[in-house]
Amino acid sequence: MRKVPFIVSLLIILFGCRTDKSSPEKEKTEKVNEFAIIIHGGAGTILKKNMSDKKETEYKEKLEEAIKVGHTILKKGGTSQEAVMKTIQIMEESPLFNAGKGAVFTHEETNELDASFMDGKTLNAGAVAGVMNVKSPIELAITIMTDSDHVMLSGKGASIFAKEKGLEIVDPSYFYTERRFQSLQRIKEKEKTELDYDAKTAVFYDSDIKNAKFGTVGCVALDKNGNIAAGTSTGGMTNKRWGRIGDAPIIGSGTYANNKTCGVSSTGWGEYFIRGQIAYDISAQMEYQQKTLKEATSDVIQNKLTKLGGTGGVVALDKNGNMSFEFNTAGMYRASMNDKGELLVKIYKE
């Protein structure tokens, strides 16, 4: 009988020591990165067999260039807000992504841009929808947060505000790329004949690869002061009409940040991200159910979003510098960089 207390103590010691580096308990309490940054350039049916080596290199190089800009800012002690803005601007200026230059076309053959930003310290936020002549929608979203009494501005009014604040205004033709224009033409051609036009959402999915493919950009950063910021910028979905607005400018759907929990940027079929309040739900699960970042992102994307019928993914980062990529599509353009300068750039599932 005297052996019982001994066995019990042994079990306590053994199980007590089981918390290794990847255990949920450590993930919740231990700071793994003093600062960190994570980005995406869209999720969707991105398959190796459809991608040339040259294209793959171009995407990877641009993701690396963008994330390094943000990482350098954070390393020098800059704010997560600045890191998110400057990183996203690199991707907005690249025709590779569906944001800024390279944005997809609406049914009316225009480019209508959406973006949002959230500050995890103050829970302040800014967003813009349907703007057509502001070079950097993410900068406009941040300026709406810092320089107006509002959270969201749209269309013409947003352009007037941007002009008043001295932001760079461009001719709408700046956003034109032949690739996206042709993509719209193909979709319109198919629209006439085929059935996979979704009348409910009025979005016709990318005919290039017979499936949805997205190219929104997003970034989440944690700075040395423990402040998390998140931002997202997009052209929306090809062939959108009637002033359709997706999740990217909706706080809680496309973007969310809270220093108590995490920051999130989403990409995918926006209607589902709005209905699921995807970005906020990840933070809520961490706050109210004490889930780790990994548990929350995986539940929200693999269970909740998938059950709703939505496709896409998120990049997320928590207050301890843990990072998570989570998506239910074949691929997601993505990269992360930790405080040791370790860089990860990926496109496909593995």
For the annotated catalytic residues, the residue numbers are 216
Q: Decide if residue 296 touches ligand ASP (CB under 6 A).
A: no
Cα gap 50→213, rounded to integer Å = 12
Amino acid identity of 236? G
Q: Decide if residue 214 touches ligand ASP (CB under 6 A).
A: yes
What is residue 226's three-state secondary structure?
Answer: coil
109, 141 contact by CB (below 8 A): no
Q: Decide if residue 267 touches ligand ASP (CB under 6 A).
A: yes
Could you tell me the two tokens for 44?
């969707």
> Which residues have a Cβ under 8 Å from the Cβ of 201 and sit 6 or more positions away?
244, 271
**Residue carrying structure tokens 């709408």:** 172
What is residue 237's three-state secondary structure?
Answer: coil
As to burial, measured by CB atoms within 10 angstroms (0-12 exposed, 13-18 middle, 19+ buried), residue 303 is exposed
183, 206 contact by CB (below 8 A): yes
What is residue 135's three-state secondary structure?
Answer: coil
> Least Å distance between CB 235 and ligand ASP?
8
Q: Decide if residue 237 touches ligand ASP (CB under 6 A).
A: yes
> Least Å distance between CB 203 and ligand ASP?
8
Q: Decide if residue 331 touches ligand ASP (CB under 6 A).
A: no
**Residue carrying structure tokens 């207390």:** 5
Q: Which of 70, 130, 137, 236 binds ligand ASP (CB under 6 A)?
A: 236
What is residue 65's three-state secondary structure?
Answer: helix
Q: Decide if residue 247 touches ligand ASP (CB under 6 A).
A: yes
Which range touches ligand ASP (CB under 6 A), out of 13-21, 180-188, 189-197, 265-273?
265-273
203-217 residues labelled b (16+ CB within 10 A) or e (exposed)? bbbbbeeebbbbbbb
Residues in the chain, overall count? 350
Which range touches ligand ASP (CB under 6 A), out of 31-39, 144-152, 154-162, 243-251?
243-251
Q: Decide if residue 248 touches ligand ASP (CB under 6 A).
A: yes
245, 129 contact by CB (below 8 A): yes
Q: Decide if residue 231 touches ligand ASP (CB under 6 A).
A: no
Q: Which of 87, 143, 216, 338 binds ligand ASP (CB under 6 A)?
A: 216
From residue 147, give the alpha-carbon distance in Å to each of 3, 21, 135, 199: 70, 43, 18, 39
Which range touches ligand ASP (CB under 6 A), out of 16-24, 208-216, 295-303, 333-341?
208-216
Which range touches ligand ASP (CB under 6 A), out of 123-131, 234-242, 257-265, 318-326?
234-242
Q: Decide if residue 270 touches ligand ASP (CB under 6 A).
A: yes
Which range touches ligand ASP (CB under 6 A), out of 177-185, 242-250, 278-286, 323-331?
242-250
Q: Decide if residue 279 touches ligand ASP (CB under 6 A).
A: no
Residues numbered 86-115 forming contacts with ligand ASP, rule: CB under 6 A = 98
> Least Å distance between CB 65 and ligand ASP?
20
Q: Decide if residue 229 touches ligand ASP (CB under 6 A).
A: no
Q: Decide if residue 42 touches ligand ASP (CB under 6 A).
A: yes
Cα gap 218→234, rounded to integer Å = 9
> Least Å distance between CB 32 and ligand ASP?
28
* Strand partners for 267: 313
| List of residues contacting ligand ASP (CB under 6 A) | 42, 98, 214-216, 234, 236-237, 246-248, 267-268, 270
